[in-house]
Amino acid sequence: MNTPEFRTATDAVTLGAGVVKRSTRLADGRELIYYDDPGTTLDPDRALDRREPVARPETATMRRDVLTGDWVSIAAARQNRAFLPPAELDPLAPQTPTNPSEIPSLYDVAVFENKSPSFGPALAEAHGDAPAGADAPRGLDDLDAPGLGRTRTSVGRCEVVCFSPEHSGSFGTQTATRARTVIEAWADRTAELSALPGIEQVFPFENRGEAIGVTLPHPHGQIYAYPYITPRTTSLLASIDREGPDLFERILEFERAGERVILAGEHWTAFVPFAARWPIEVHLLPHRHVPDFAHTTDAERDELAPLYLRLLRGVDALYDTPTPYIAAWHQAPVHRGRDTVRLHLQLTSPRRAADKLKYLAGSEAAMGAWIGDIPPEAAAERLRAAVASIPEETL
């Protein structure tokens, strides 16, 4: 790799909590955004990406499953992504002369476009980057239309969110200051991605642990910007139509009055849901209606950082080894359900004992008919004790 050249990343903007956003581009044109902690010791000058540009893969193609109406993205380029590389070849660590990684400079938090995305890089409007002859989705009515053999380009955006330059860890291993920076990044990226042409839903999430299928131990999450409303959210919208527009308000009132609350603050409450599917399942809701991270207040973000850390560390305290999980932040679609779908976390883990996992077999995987292994009230009692064991001064 060539000797690094340095420049100030463009468009430095101060966000909430004193987080500074600095935008730049990688050698192949992908967007890279640094989010600096308040009071960071990092220099504003950042190294240029001196790698030789490599052509990006063509945007994948979606195929419609006529039996369910779901769209399936066929993204063959993902077969080439990194798989459990050694620390010295960590693709999410800052670049070194021997590691031509994805991020040129030392960073606090960094977000960049995925090299092998499931959606994108093409967007719904013509930018000269769509595959030849590709037919992008023409709105939700087009995607809902019937017919066999229907295809559309998998337009959208997939981003990687690096929580730290360290080689290992998770969101839960970060400091409260760093967690607050990541939350600010989620809010900023939600707003930016929601404004892109053809985007219908934005989904921040973290996969943690090899049991979940994680291929990089580096502490990171992802954000998907979909060209459709996901099946899970489509089902949620149908439930709101059935139950009423105040569904989330009533769920929160119901759970806060019961025995499954794990922890609560002024702005957020975490609980094991009444009909939990997974051995470990926790939902986290804001107390007021907000459709997504972009609409949370500074006070809500400030409280969320230590509260979320306490929850994740409590989940890890259940056993002697770190717990695998999916931390899924559900947000309202960009154009539908803004007044009824509330931002919320659904954290799930297949771990049902220290050395046992719940596998989705015939009933769950084939029919979607779930069987819970642990009563939600018992799971909540264990989680409350685990969360209470986390010392306040460690957050």
**Amino acid letter, 114:** N
Q: Do residues 372 and 350 lie in contact, with contact meaning Cβ atoms separated by under 8 Å?
A: no
Written in H, E and C, the secondary structure of the chain is CCCCCEEECEEEEECHHHCEEEEEECCCCCEEEEEECCCCCCCCEEECCCCCCCCCCCCCEEEECCCCCCEEEECHHHHHCCCCCCHHHCCCCECECCECCCECCCCCEEEEECCCCCCCCCCCCCCCCCCCCCCCCCCHHHHHCCCCCCEEECCCEEEEEECCCCCCCCHHHCCHHHHHHHHHHHHHHHHHHHCCCCCCEEEEEEEECHHHCCCCCCCEEEEEEECCCCHHHHHHHHHHHHHCCCHHHHHHHHHHCCCCEEEECCCEEEECCCCCCCCEEEEEEECCCCCCHHHCCHHHHHHHHHHHHHHHHHHHCCCCCCCCEEEEEECCCCCCCCCCCCCEEEEEECEEECCEECCCCHHHHHHCCCCCCCCHHHHHHHHHHHHHCCCHHHC
What are the two backbone dihedrals, phi and then psi, of residue 287, each rounded to the nearest 5 degrees?
Answer: -75, -25
Catalytic residue numbers?
220
Distance in angstroms (rounded) separating the CA atoms of residues 54 and 218:
24
